[in-house]
Copies of this chain bind each other. A is one copy, B any other.
Amino acid sequence: MIPLDYMQELFTFLQMDTTSAKGKGREAASFLADLMKEAGVGVEIVEGSVNPFVIGEIDVKADKTLLIYNHYDVQPVEPLNKWDTDPFEPTIKEGRIYARGVADDKGALLARLQGIRELIKENRLRVNLKFLYEGEEEIGSPNIKGFLTKYKERLKANYVLWEGAGRGVNGAPQVILGVKGLLYVEITSRTPKDLHSMYAPIARNPAWEIVRLLSGLRDERGRVKLSGFYDKVIRLSEKEREFAKFLSRDEMERALGQKVGEDFALRLVEEPTCNIDGIEAGYTGPGSKTVIPSQAFVKIDFRLVPEQRPEEVLESLRNYLRDFDVELKVYGMEEPHRTPFNTEIARAVRDSAKEVYGVEPLVIPNSPGTGPMASVSKILGTNQIADGVGPDKPDSNIHSFNENVVVEDYLLTIRHMKALLRLLSSH
């Protein structure tokens, strides 16, 4: 069982509204700083736009240093009427703790910190630690890159532990070693004005231009047709394929509300994609209006895998678009990242997970989602970044109502932190 004072500390932390989208969270930053100082961690609070970064450091004169990243801000709780309990009044029901942020990411943050404080108290910490607690992750981390660049000397580490990856299929702990990259663009085609559709035999229609463009971007099976798109794709090794599992096929189909292929887990990890996020042109109200729209646009995201580079995909896209009368806007670029299987951090997270959870962990070479791992890797000069086990599960309702974690999983997160630090120092 979790010690009562740990639980009280967690509840106090969860009671603090840290909704960054509403400008809330400073109280929690001070709360964390105080906990860290009490444990002997050197702390600094650095202003962001809404909530500050809390950075910390404890030097135990070890060879190696681990940087731990978590965020203390949360998503807005609305719609409130869908919650069975007050999202800022943590409640235990049937073995689960319900509260906003308990799964993403305040639970993992505090469990890890509690584990570390135990090690410090027991004088068994054998790895230098650095802490980076962000308060603006849920509003898109607007200041993280500038902050990392400015503080890179202070934050330099041999390894980075990411915010927490939870438990996956059959409750197996997940170890995620990377992220996909992203290129997000908007493409617009225009003419001077809307026209009556009787002019269709002679007038350009920007919507047809966008359709023509899109139909040349991807084939029917979803393969991207941009020149050179697959040239740098690294396929998974046999060993990586063995581990790459998320939910069971049934669970995945239930989660998505649609059928998926047998190879769904592999595809999620290793397939780069071109996705239409939004498209609009002309009359979209009820009934009919005969018009040639003067504007059509589409928003597209490309998810990229190692070693694809968003700038190179963008360049190939620009070349492709030369045959079309369109404008291009770029909204986002992130590089993909994969920490190799045989790195010290990957082995330590995997072995400690196996030890604590008693089953083989799911080691996912990269998440199907995107995050700034590659930026962190470059700025801080380490390729050893892993997302260790947190208390969340597929039914933790992250970003939704009735967010929750199983009490036992919180305790395991504390234990996993301790085991990881022990193994990391012995590598």
Question: Which of A's residues lie within 8 Å of B, judged by CB?
Answer: 180, 182, 184, 186, 191-193, 195-205, 207-208, 211-212, 214-215, 218, 220, 222, 252, 256-258, 260-261, 264, 267-268, 271, 273-284, 287-293, 296-297, 299, 301, 303, 331-332, 367-370
* Contact among B205, B271, B299 with A276 in the assembled complex (CB-CB below 8 Å): B205
Q: Which residue of B is nearest A186, CB measured?
A: B288
Q: Which residue of B is nearest A292, CB measured?
A: B275
> Once bound together, how far apart are the Cα atoms of A294 and B267, in whole Å?
21
User: Given that A199-B368, A303-B198 are contacting pairs, would A290 and B277 also be in contact in the complex, using a CB cutoff of 8 Å?
Assistant: yes
User: Given that A278-B289, A332-B288 are contacting pairs, would A264 and B218 also be in contact in the complex, using a CB cutoff of 8 Å?
Assistant: no
Closest 4 CB pairs of A and B: A192-B257, A215-B215, A278-B282, A200-B273
* Contact among B277, B284, B370 with A278 in the assembled complex (CB-CB below 8 Å): B284
Q: From residue A309, how far is it (CB to closest CB) to chain B in Å? A: 19
Number of copies: 2
Q: A201-B267, A205-B275 are in contact. List 19 more A-B contacts (CB 8 A).
A: A180-B198, A184-B290, A191-B258, A196-B369, A197-B303, A198-B367, A201-B268, A201-B273, A202-B252, A202-B267, A204-B258, A208-B214, A208-B218, A276-B296, A277-B288, A277-B290, A277-B292, A279-B281, A282-B299
> Once bound together, how far apart are the Cα atoms of A208 and B277, in whole Å?
10
Q: Residues of B contacting A276 with CB < 8 Å?
A: 205, 207-208, 211, 281-282, 293, 296
User: Given that A277-B290, A278-B293, A282-B277 are contacting pairs, would A200 and B303 also be in contact in the complex, using a CB cutoff of 8 Å?
Assistant: yes
The reply to whether A198 and B369 contact each other, CB–CB distance below 8 Å, is yes
Q: Residues of B contacting A293 with CB < 8 Å?
A: 276-278
The reply to whether A257 and B215 contact each other, CB–CB distance below 8 Å, is no
User: Given that A215-B215, A257-B192 are contacting pairs, would A331 and B287 also be in contact in the complex, using a CB cutoff of 8 Å?
Assistant: yes
Q: Residues of B contacting A273 with CB < 8 Å?
A: 197, 200-201
Q: Residues of B contacting A184 with CB < 8 Å?
A: 288, 290
User: Given that A184-B288, A276-B211 are contacting pairs, would A268 and B199 also be in contact in the complex, using a CB cutoff of 8 Å?
Assistant: yes
> Once bound together, how far apart are the Cα atoms of A184 and B292, in whole Å?
13
The reply to whether A257 and B200 contact each other, CB–CB distance below 8 Å, is no
Q: Residues of B contacting A267 with CB < 8 Å?
A: 201-202
The reply to whether A279 and B296 contact each other, CB–CB distance below 8 Å, is yes
Q: Residues of B contacting A220 with CB < 8 Å?
A: 212
Can you give 27 contacting A-B residue pairs, CB < 8 Å? A186-B288, A191-B257, A193-B257, A197-B277, A198-B367, A198-B368, A198-B369, A198-B370, A199-B268, A199-B368, A203-B256, A205-B276, A207-B279, A211-B215, A212-B220, A275-B290, A275-B292, A276-B281, A277-B288, A277-B289, A279-B280, A279-B296, A280-B280, A283-B299, A288-B331, A289-B299, A290-B301
Q: From residue A114, how far is it (CB to closest CB) to chain B in Å? A: 31
Q: From residue A371, how far is it (CB to closest CB) to chain B in Å? A: 11
Q: Residues of B contacting A275 with CB < 8 Å?
A: 197, 200, 205, 290, 292
The reply to whether B277 and A283 contact each other, CB–CB distance below 8 Å, is yes
> Once bound together, how far apart are the Cα atoms of A196 and B180, in whole Å?
14
Q: Residues of B contacting A296 with CB < 8 Å?
A: 276, 279
> Once bound together, how far apart are the Cα atoms of A260 and B199, in whole Å?
10
> Once bound together, how far apart are the Cα atoms of A303 and B296, in whole Å?
21
Q: Which residue of B is nearest A399, CB measured?
A: B196
